[in-house]
């Protein structure tokens, strides 16, 4: 059908494609029916970066539509809801009172734009964020047609979205999310790249390094010059580690089916309390030497910045390597792995509800060493387990898993059992698929894209909505403006719990106050100290030290002192919406007793990467921005070429040959 645009006839066979040819909406544009009017507005909105919803409708005496409005999805303000009403999910408040409007008038079957207001009072979604726009999440027929020939009974459902992403350049251009595609398609095939020997993998890594100059890889060879261990990470992983590398979970429970190599990912927690991937390794054995090489290589790739805490499974070789290479890092054992092993070594007891209750108390509820010892001894005696060798070994390692011995150790809540389960769900296919090495690396890359897409979607939600506040007061507002949605929910739970805390003052020297607090229904006493001169507050539960959020006991004191905002020192940047903005690390954080020169260069590179990534992201939004960035890069290069110190160091680097990699490839 023909479409008229201010007298110009556009003839396009597929109705869905015509709207992609229209960059701007103007009064007088015509379509044939309401569905086409909605599609025209929706396609335009998607291209600009906002979502729409249907607005007012007016009908004539015969009940035929005479006028229809389409609003920006942020029009108006959300009505107050009853906070006492129990809801499983509370939707975000995304309304900003936007006045943008597109009005159609219908007459004799012709729908014509009669009024337009395109002034918005909010930011538009970036190109990579548009896939999350609610009204834009659909599968057009032209794109579904591409998938049709690919569908058969053997195709995995999660690959349909990847196929569309490839066809349209990347996932952001698909115009829908993974879930939307899965709802439309059953399964889709994808071919696997052949070539799995060590040389092919090194060639693949070298190719990735050409695409991403910040890509890092390293291999280790044995005495016969055969490759035994691999490690790699991309440039984005380095940036993520700079932001969230304070806690790392190192998992060696996955083995490749074809080569029997250990697949060992380095995983962290981002500001949305979701997994973030720092890199991965293939290791041939679990020897101390292999782990020493791996940890040293990992530190080299990250500018020698050591994590505050590392979580692993039980293993003497790994523990020995951590002592050698991660001297500034606290070693903790992953509770999920311990619980999994418990089903194997004490399965008959672990299924007993009473035993499990006592067992779990040792892991979660003991805040003092004396309390732990009493609970553990009671467990052993009550169930006659004095001779159980697995429990004896577990007890010898108690300082690495019992919170009573490490309350002041920052864990980012990664010690929770569901964290290990989440990592396993991400990488379990490594152990079941018969892949070559390149295929395994590509599988990891796909999982990385999924993880990063989830983070991008959470960033979008945080930028475009605010959680409903239980109380419209200062400290609630401040927390909601600073924290991500996920972390605000944790903080809000602590803040609401102050009403169940009973507190008395037990000491006061003018500036320093000491309080004792108990929670209703619990006998444990908490000690809170507050300094009125410095506004410093601390609690014996050590929640802030271990997770980075103020506990209900400390918040009770701040409420008593009439605080209307959270003191700045108690807002951990890693949990805020701006956790990844303008990260510049101080050099003293990375100081090590070895390789200081290379570490300093890595620090400077990290700083430039963070600053540059922000500039590139903004510049890529439009052609003029891209031209500005490219122009300034040319100017920067000329300045570097005229700098004597820089050119001297560059000349020395050019003389260095990568003899190690050449020897490996020649063999």
User: Are 606 and 580 in contact, with CB atoms under 8 Å apart?
Assistant: no
Positive or negative, the CA dihedral 211, 214, 215, 216 is positive
Beta strand 216-221 with 227-233 is antiparallel
What is the C-alpha separation between 525 and 513, in angstroms, rounded? 16
Higher per-residue pLDDT: 168 or 348: 348
| pLDDT value at 667 more than 60 | no
Distance of CA 206 to the CA centre of its chain: 27
Average pLDDT score, the chain: 80
pLDDT digits (tens, 9 = 90+) for 437-472: 888 888 889 889 999 999 999 999 998 888 888 888
pLDDT value of residue 185:
44
pLDDT band at 196 (very low <50, low <70, confident <90, very high): very low
Closest CA to 423 of 244, 263, 261: 263
What is the C-alpha separation between 565 and 479, in angstroms, rounded? 8
| pLDDT value at 2 more than 70 | no
Mean of pLDDT values over 91-106: 89
Show the tokens assigned to 651.
């000349």
What is the C-alpha separation between 502 and 521, in angstroms, rounded? 11
Closest CA to 507 of 528, 478, 535: 528
pLDDT band at 194 (very low <50, low <70, confident <90, very high): very low
* CB within 8 Å of 221: residues ≥ 6 apart: 227, 228, 664
Start-to-end CA distance of the chain, whole Å, equals 65
What is the C-alpha separation between 251 and 313, in angstroms, rounded? 7
- Tracing tokens 């940036």 back to the chain, one arrives at 239
Whether the full predicted model's pTM is greater than 0.85, yes or no, is: no
What is the C-alpha separation between 69 and 71, in angstroms, rounded? 6
pLDDT digits (tens, 9 = 90+) for 527-547: 999 999 999 999 999 999 999
pLDDT value of residue 436:
78
* CB within 8 Å of 493: residues ≥ 6 apart: none
pLDDT digits (tens, 9 = 90+) for 241-293: 999 999 999 988 887 777 778 889 999 999 999 999 999 999 988 899 999 99
Show the tokens assigned to 205.
């890594």
**Which whole-number Å values give the CA distances from 110 to 14, 37, 104, 159, in the listed order?**
19, 10, 10, 41
pLDDT band at 646 (very low <50, low <70, confident <90, very high): confident
What is the C-alpha separation between 72 and 117, in angstroms, rounded? 10
User: Are 20 and 43 in contact, with CB atoms under 8 Å apart?
Assistant: yes
pLDDT value of residue 590:
43
pLDDT value of residue 466:
87
pLDDT value of residue 167:
53
- Tracing tokens 């229209």 back to the chain, one arrives at 22
Higher per-residue pLDDT: 550 or 253: 550
Size (the chain), residues: 667
What is the C-alpha separation between 166 and 490, in angstroms, rounded? 38
What is the C-alpha separation between 469 and 525, in angstroms, rounded? 30
pLDDT value of residue 101:
93
**Main-chain phi, psi angles of 443, to 5 degrees:** -65, -45
What is the C-alpha separation between 661 and 220, in angstroms, rounded? 10
DSSP structural state of residue 306: P
């Amino acid at each position: 059908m023909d479409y008229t645009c201010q007298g110009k006839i556009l003839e396009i066979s597929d109705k869905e494609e015509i709207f992609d040819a229209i960059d701007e909406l103007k009064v007088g544009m015509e379509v044939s029916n309401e569905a086409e009017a909605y599609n025209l507005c929706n396609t335009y909105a998607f291209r600009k970066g906002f979502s729409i919803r249907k607005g007012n409708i007016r009908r004539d005496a015969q009940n035929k539509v005479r006028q229809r409005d389409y609003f920006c999805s942020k029009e108006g303000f959300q009505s107050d809801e009853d906070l006492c009403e129990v809801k499983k999910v509370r939707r975000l408040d995304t309304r900003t009172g936007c006045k943008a409007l597109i009005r159609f008038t219908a007459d004799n079957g012709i729908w014509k734009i009669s009024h337009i207001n395109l002034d918005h009072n909010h930011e538009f979604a970036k190109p990579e964020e548009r896939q999350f726009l609610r009204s834009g999440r659909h599968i057009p027929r032209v794109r579904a047609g591409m998938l049709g020939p690919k569908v058969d009974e053997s195709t995995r459902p999660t690959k349909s979205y990847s196929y569309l992403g490839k066809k349209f350049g990347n996932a952001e251009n698909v115009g829908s999310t993974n879930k939307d595609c899965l709802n439309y398609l059953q399964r889709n095939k994808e071919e696997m790249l052949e070539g799995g020997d060590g040389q092919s993998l090194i060639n693949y890594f070298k190719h990735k390094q050409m695409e991403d100059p910040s890509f890092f890889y390293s291999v280790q060879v044995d005495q016969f010059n055969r490759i035994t261990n691999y490690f790699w990470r991309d440039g984005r992983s380095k940036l993520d580690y700079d932001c969230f590398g304070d806690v790392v979970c190192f998992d060696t429970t996955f083995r490749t089916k074809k080569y029997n190599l250990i697949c060992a990912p380095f995983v962290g927690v981002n500001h949305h309390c979701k997994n973030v991937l720092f890199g991965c390794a293939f290791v041939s054995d679990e020897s101390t030497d292999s782990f020493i090489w791996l940890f040293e290589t990992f530190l080299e790739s990250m500018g020698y910045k050591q994590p505050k805490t590392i979580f692993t499974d039980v293993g003497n070789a790994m523990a020995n390597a951590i002592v050698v290479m991660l001297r500034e890092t606290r070693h903790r054992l992953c509770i999920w792995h311990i619980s999994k092993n418990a089903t194997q070594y004490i399965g008959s007891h672990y299924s007993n509800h009473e035993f499990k209750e006592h067992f779990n108390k040792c892991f979660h509820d003991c805040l003092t060493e004396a309390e732990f010892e009493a609970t553990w001894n009671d467990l052993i005696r009550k169930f006659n387990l004095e001779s159980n060798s697995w429990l004896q070994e577990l007890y010898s390692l108690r300082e690495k898993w019992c919170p009573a011995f490490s309350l002041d150790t920052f864990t980012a809540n990664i010690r929770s059992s569901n964290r290990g389960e989440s990592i396993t769900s991400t990488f379990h296919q490594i152990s079941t698929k018969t892949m070559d090495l390149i295929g395994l690396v590509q599988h990891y890359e796909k999982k990385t894209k999924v993880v990063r897409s989830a983070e991008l979607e959470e960033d979008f939600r945080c930028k475009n909505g605010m959680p409903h506040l239980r109380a419209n007061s200062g400290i609630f507002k401040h927390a909601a403006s600073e924290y991500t949605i996920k972390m605000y929910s944790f903080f809000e739970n602590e803040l609401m719990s102050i009403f169940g805390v009973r507190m008395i003052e037990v000491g006061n020297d003018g500036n320093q106050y000491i309080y004792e607090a108990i929670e209703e229904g619990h006998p444990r006493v908490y000690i809170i100290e507050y300094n009125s001169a410095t506004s410093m507050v601390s609690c014996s539960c050590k929640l802030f030290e271990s997770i980075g959020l103020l506990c209900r006991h400390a918040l009770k004191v701040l409420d008593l002192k009439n605080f209307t905002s959270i003191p700045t020192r108690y807002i951990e940047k890693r949990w805020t919406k701006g956790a990844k903005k303008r990260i510049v690390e101080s050099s003293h954080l990375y100081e090590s007793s070895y390789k200081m020169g290379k570490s300093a260069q890595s620090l400077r590179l990290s700083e430039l990467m963070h600053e540059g990534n922000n500039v590139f992201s903004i510049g890529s939004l439009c052609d003029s921005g891209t031209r500005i960035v490219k122009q300034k890069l040319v100017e920067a290069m000329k300045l570097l070429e005229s700098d004597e110190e820089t050119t001297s160091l560059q000349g020395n680097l050019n003389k260095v040959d990568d003899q190690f990699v050449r020897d490996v490839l020649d063999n």
